[in-house]
A and B are shown apart, each in its own frame.
Chain A
Amino acid sequence: MKFLRDQIDKLKPTFSEGGKLSFLHSTFDAFETFLFVPNHTTQSGSHIRDGIDLKRTMFIVIIAMLPALMFGLWNVGHQQSLALTGADGSLWDNFFVGLIQTLPIIIVSYGVGLGIEMGFAQFRGHPVNEGFLVTGMLIPLCMPPDVPLWMVGLATAFSVVIGKEVFGGTGMNLLNPALTARMFLYIGYPSSMSGDSVWTFLPEGSKTVDGYSGATNLGELASATAEGKPWSDDILSASIMDSFWGNIQGSIGETSVVACLIGAVILISAGVGSWKIMVSTILGGLFMGWIFNISVADGAYMDMPAYYHLIIGGFMFGAIFMTTDPVSAAQTEKGKWIYGFLIGVLTVLIRVFNPGYPEGIMMAILLMNVFAPLIDYYVVQSNIKTRLNRVKV
């Protein structure tokens, strides 16, 4: 440790003001503080401070995403093997194929994002904020495995610059940066982000086995509804248990409800993710699904059991990792309940009523990101009102 510290102390002047590489000061600082918690001390106010900091908080979110990532790596290979040979490959083969396909996406996402963040930090004279450590992982997890790398880079750049830095950086952004990236691609390059051919990574020129279909549950449900078919389990080519475990086609990290739930347990037990938002999002989804169930209107989507909504598509991934971003979510405790509930409701609404747009949760979260400050405003106003009423009494 002493050796490492000495090396850093030797390098430090080069990167400090007046040094040759002072234009990389923020970047150096980011690496230094990653390695060593600084030797600063408190000077005013509370002399002692809690052991938690933003680095640890963000790191815990990354840990929570690991089950989803690991499962996703395997599943990318698994789905490819099913599509090409009709049979499952070995565990390690699947994992290896997934890694080969996914690792570059992760590297591009982190490389582009952190590069821009460090540039902005240096330009503003700020330290580099840890927020992107999470975003950089969320972006690959919500991408289809087939996505071209340049799109990942472009989307990441868009989300960091337009989604975050123009608002003032981490802590100031209105929209969830990872979803901003996904939305950017969805609108800009719809053919690469939706449809029946993107959810399994297939090498160029390869042939799929007979009977292979690239459709997802959501796509199948949307077309069944459009065709006016009544609800039956047969509409879904993947069983609901498969959807629950996650060995189905979909974006890299969102297919497994189980992996997401493990993440939820980590987030909640570490006190990092808001359980209020998670629970209320799930309640909102169930509530809206139930309303459709009891409504007089018929249709495949309407009559699907409400809890299916939680299992198919990216509902759980969104509810656990995307809604709980504390910056873009509602910030008041009451507001969190309303925010989550409305996301659940909107997700199901969009799924059922908008066949052109299969997955509703991305849209629902981004929409509620925009409304979160309004929700907070009303919660804050109610506190203000009780205070004013006290004077009158």
Chain B
Amino acid sequence: MGKNVKIKRGMDIPLEGKPSTHIHAISSSTTFAIKPTDFKGLIPKLRIKQGEEVSVGDCLFTDKKNDKICFTSPVSGEVAEIVRGDRRAITAIKILADSSEYKFKEFDIQNYPSKNVDEIKAILLESGLWPFITQRPYGVIADTEVTPKSIHVSGFDSSPLAADLGVSLRGQESQLETGFKILNMLSEGGVYLNLHAKKDNTIYQNIKDVNVSYFDGPHPSGLVGVQINNLDPINKGDIVWTIKPQHVAFIGKLFETGKLDFEQNIVIAGSEVKEPAYYTTRLGASVDSLMNDNYKSENVRVISGNVLTGTKIDKDGYLGFFDNQVTVIPEGNQYELLGWLFPSYARPTLSPSLPISKYLKKSFNVNTNPHGEPRAYVVTGQYEKVLPMDIMPQQLIKAVMAKDLELMENLGIYEVIEEDMALCEFVCTSKINVQQVLSEGLELMAEES
């Protein structure tokens, strides 16, 4: 039933600061935040006021377009601040966590296997687990009214310095099993679990009634979009849902205990981290609490997520909703004398024109310098080397730039989201912000549909 897929195009970017497999417990964060900005196009509608007491699982805000979709508190405590940004848009809701035992909201999961789809959906919506389900096309929160063609879960993360889920989810086998059971109830077309052919997959051994496929090859083999394209491409009109295994485990925990538990093991990695390793924390934790004095130097970029797709956050910022990784790398705000001709240090590259970096160096201390200025497209054939999908990437991006909706659709914009083309952005000689362009294209398509 499942397939074995060998991914040939793509590249692994070996970075310094790989995490050790040790899982550290850290003193719990005092403040937590849920950021509406982690969701594309979301306009939040507040359900709480500043100063109000909340329990774990209490609704903080809902989606203005669909107020069934709740975003809930990961901890119990007091709503400390409602942070507003440009034009008073809400950018974060900060909660001061109780120092004692958390109070939990109870969800009615009694006898859940006999519940129907709508009842299951209602629980997921009320508990704030629904937003973990991403819908393709567009990469937005799943529409509550549709039944997807299928649900895809990538069982591994191939991005730079990503968590080995076999480590971070160890011990959560039964939660995963329960979570997948729930997913199976949501989809008619079945659930696809896509695993790495050569990695230890024991955490998934209990999972039943899913289509298991095996992937092998460099990044982006672990991206669910690439996997879908290779297994069962999305056509116009198809709706496919995706969710990450760590979030499936959240679902499992809820349906096993009736309580929401956003505790998770995350990776803190990168060359500027003193002790890169796994750390146990909770969704929305503050970077302060995670990092303490774990920085090697001052001038750093803190990224919630990985270096290719993550979000830049401040040192006093908060972990993103979907992220199980914090990466810290040096900022690249230094001039480099004739750096384009004689690079003064090795940097990851796809280009054989930098032979030392390409062939000799085994891992890189990367920074955020783009190593060049933005230009019009000149070089061709680059993106194709890192996008293992049946898509013509440069033509698609140009179609987006030209705002040609029909061409975008014809070239398969429904099949990709930003992360799928992150490597294209990385390798681009003309330093074009591919993900941003694609994001504008997706937004345009979503508006028109």
Contact = CB atoms under 8 A, between A and B. Distances in A.
Contacts of B392: 332, 380, 383
A208 to B, nearest CB: 44
A54 B430 contact: yes
Contacts of A272: 353
Q: Most chain-B Cβ atoms within 10 A of its Cβ — which of A43, A49, A56, A130? A: A49
Interface residues of A, number: 60
Interface in A346-393: 376, 380, 383-384, 386-388, 390-391
Interface string A254-278: 0000000000000001111010000
Nearest to B301: A47
Interface stretch (B137-145, B171-179, B210-218, B433-441): B433-441
A55 B370 CA distance: 13
B353 A54 contact: no
9 closest A-B pairs (Cβ-Cβ)? A53-B372, A171-B376, A37-B339, A45-B435, A51-B347, A270-B353, A52-B351, A41-B368, A55-B340
Interface in B336-357: 336-341, 343, 347-354, 357
Nearest to A33: B373
Nearest to B347: A51
Interface string A165-206: 000111110000000000000000000000000000000000
A270 B335 contact: no
A54 B425 CA distance: 14
Contact of A60 (B353, B357, B390, B422): B353
Contacts of B430: 54, 171
B410 A37 contact: no
Q: Most chain-B Cβ atoms within 10 A of its Cβ — which of A1, A48, A390? A: A48
Contacts of A336: 381
A101 interface: no
Contacts of B357: 51
Nearest to B160: A48
B351 A271 contact: yes
B376 A170 contact: yes
A127 B329 contact: no
Q: Most chain-A Cβ atoms within 10 A of its Cβ — which of B340, B351, B433? A: B340
Interface of B: 13, 233, 235-237, 301, 303, 307-310, 312, 329, 331-341, 343, 347-354, 357, 366-373, 375-381, 384, 390-392, 394-395, 410-412, 418, 422-423, 425-431, 433-436
A64 to B, nearest CB: 11
Contacts of B418: 45
B373 to A, nearest CB: 6
Interface in A33-48: 33-48
A229 interface: no
A380 B395 contact: yes
B272 to A, nearest CB: 13
26 contacts: A5-B335, A33-B373, A35-B337, A35-B338, A39-B333, A42-B368, A46-B308, A46-B422, A46-B434, A47-B303, A47-B310, A48-B13, A49-B372, A51-B351, A51-B371, A52-B372, A53-B371, A53-B429, A55-B341, A56-B372, A57-B353, A168-B376, A170-B375, A171-B377, A332-B395, A336-B381
A131 interface: yes
Contacts of A122: none
Interface in A205-238: none
Contacts of A54: 372, 375, 378-379, 429-430
A270 B351 contact: yes
**Chief secondary structure at chain B's binding surface:** loop
A41 B333 contact: yes
Contacts of B434: 45-46
A47 B433 CA distance: 10
B371 A49 contact: yes
Contacts of A331: 380-381, 394-395
A230 to B, nearest CB: 44
Contacts of B371: 37, 49-53
A327 B390 CA distance: 23
Contacts, number: 214
A59 interface: yes
A45 B419 CA distance: 9
A272 B333 CA distance: 28
A45 B340 contact: no
Contacts of A390: 233, 235
A129 interface: yes
Contacts of A89: none
Contact of A44 (B352, B369, B378, B436): B436
A387 B334 CA distance: 45
B369 A39 contact: yes
A11 to B, nearest CB: 14
Contact of A46 (B343, B376, B394, B425): B425
Contacts of A55: 340-341, 372
A353 B112 CA distance: 82
Contacts of B378: 54, 57, 131, 170-171, 326-327
A4 interface: yes
A253 B305 CA distance: 52
Contacts of A93: none
Contacts of A380: 392, 395, 411
A142 B64 CA distance: 65
A171 B351 contact: no
B390 A51 contact: no
Interface in A325-349: 326-327, 329, 331-333, 336
Given A37-B335, A40-B333, A50-B348, 20 more contacts: A33-B373, A36-B336, A37-B339, A39-B369, A40-B369, A45-B309, A45-B418, A45-B425, A45-B433, A49-B426, A50-B351, A54-B430, A55-B340, A55-B372, A60-B353, A127-B373, A129-B375, A271-B350, A332-B395, A380-B392
Contacts of A52: 349-351, 353-354, 371-372, 427, 429
B431 A38 contact: no
A53 B369 contact: no
Contacts of A376: 395
Contacts of A269: 352
Contacts of A56: 340-341, 351, 353-354, 372
A54 B427 CA distance: 12
A51 B336 contact: no
Contacts of A327: 377-378
Contacts of B340: 37, 53, 55-56, 59
